Amino acid sequence: MPVLVMKFGGTSVANLDRIRRAAKRIGVEVAKGYDVIVIVSAMSGQTNKLVGYVEETSPLFDAREYDAVVSSGENVTAGLMALTLQEMDIPARSWQGWQVPLLTTSAHSQARIEEIPTDNINAKFGEGMRVAVVAGFQGISPEGRITTLGRGGSDTTAVAFAAAFDAERCDIYTDVDGVYTTDPRICSKARKLDRIAFEEMLELASLGAKVLQTRSVELAMRYKVKLRVLSSFEEQSDEAGTLVCDEEEIMESNVVSGVAYSRDEAKMTLLSVADRPGIASIIFGCLSDAGVNVDMIVQNISEEGRTDMTFSLPTDQVKRAEKALAELKASGGLNFSDLITDMDVAKISVVGIGMRSQSGVAAKMFKVLSDEGINIKVITTSEIKISVLIDRKYLELAVQALHDAFDLDKAA
């Protein structure tokens, strides 16, 4: 029988009533003739509660025990979902990561999937099981310890299973009914997209859109897994939600498909750094070693033989970056006159595969922001994306203005 993967996020399984609702949706797909692999998250709020327990018990916790504790939320959901399906006379069984087994690296709390052998689950399908309910977010290390994949890891689990089992599709059920041109909470004209290309979704996810976890989109693009994002709380149909697919499967699209944003950005500038070969390697090598994720980078000549280096980073990594750079300066590894940090910035991005073949998008974006009196601090581009750093107080105005300027409320 064909295989379908269905993933239910925390809000979709937040209580027993919602688990029953999700089980009914699974039953519909079983009735269509699918063998179904269901990936479940912990019930809404449970993972945060478990993380709190760990941090209260041991501030400098053992990452192996952290994974053992925080992965238990998904185990509870998987068991409850399997029981609910059994009550509906649907042959179902719950599976923890080690039972599959979902094999991962040893990097606890941020493990990466190495392999998903299909023999165990396929054998049970052959014996009459119709639904395998798998605890998302977790796997097993080469040492035999439970591992977790990082926050949002259940999305990655679902796509990885779809790839391993050559599933017809991977349906991600969440609390929104699809992927929108921008955040509907900020822009009332935001429109749900019927389809979006993998590359566009990957950019949007990495730029702040919360609908799908970035690693899950990367996997889907690599293994050509069709993803559908849809709501657990609305009527189900074959046309529901947003399909994330190959660019070739989209007949027409707007030049710009969406506007993404991130509030949690900071800008740091190193003043009067030596302008010589290798200086960038020293600065960003130091930040990388400190676990700082640098995004946008701009270098300006400040005076003869000196340069200013500006870059953006997540706000929660600022102190780590300041400490690393201060230690580098103290050790004599880098000389700079000052380090300036701006915590009141936001990143705004326009994304679209149509940008490959049409010029003028950057000019239009910059003019729109200029007309609204919004100053651009940093710019970065790729083939299908333009991102700018602006003052955070202008974030909502910028999103709305760009959404209007590129006619994103209208279909192509």
Known binding residues for substrate are 47, 74
Known binding residues for ATP are 7-10, 174-175, 180, 185, 210-211
Residue 373 burial by Cβ neighbours in a 10 Å radius (0-12, 13-18, 19+): exposed
Measured over all CA atoms, what is the biggest interatomic distance in the chain, rounded to whole angstroms? 78
Q: How many helices (H) and strands (E) does the chain have?
A: 12, 18
User: What's the helix, strand, coil split of the chain in %, to 5?
Assistant: 40, 25, 35
Residues 332-349: b if buried by 16+ CB within 10 A, e if exposed: eebebeeeeebeebbbbb
Strand partners, 242: 229
C-alpha dist (Å) from residue 225 to 41, 104, 217: 20, 20, 9
DSSP characters over 276-293:
STTHHHHHHHHHHHTT--
By C-alpha distance, which of 346, 233, 333 is closest to 289? 333
Question: H or E segment at 38?
Answer: strand 35-40
Known binding residues are 7-10, 47, 74, 174-175, 180, 185, 210-211
C-alpha to C-alpha distance for 366 and 389, rounded to whole angstroms? 12
C-alpha to C-alpha distance for 237 and 194, rounded to whole angstroms? 13
Question: Are β-strands 297-303 and 242-245 bridged in parallel, bridged antiparallel, or unpaired?
Answer: unpaired
Kindly give, in sequence order, each residue whose CB lies less than 8 Å from that of residue 312, ignoring residues fewer than 6 positions away: 265, 266, 267, 268, 294, 295, 296, 345, 347, 378, 389
By C-alpha distance, which of 316, 326, 272, 256 is closest to 292? 316
C-alpha to C-alpha distance for 207 and 346, rounded to whole angstroms? 11
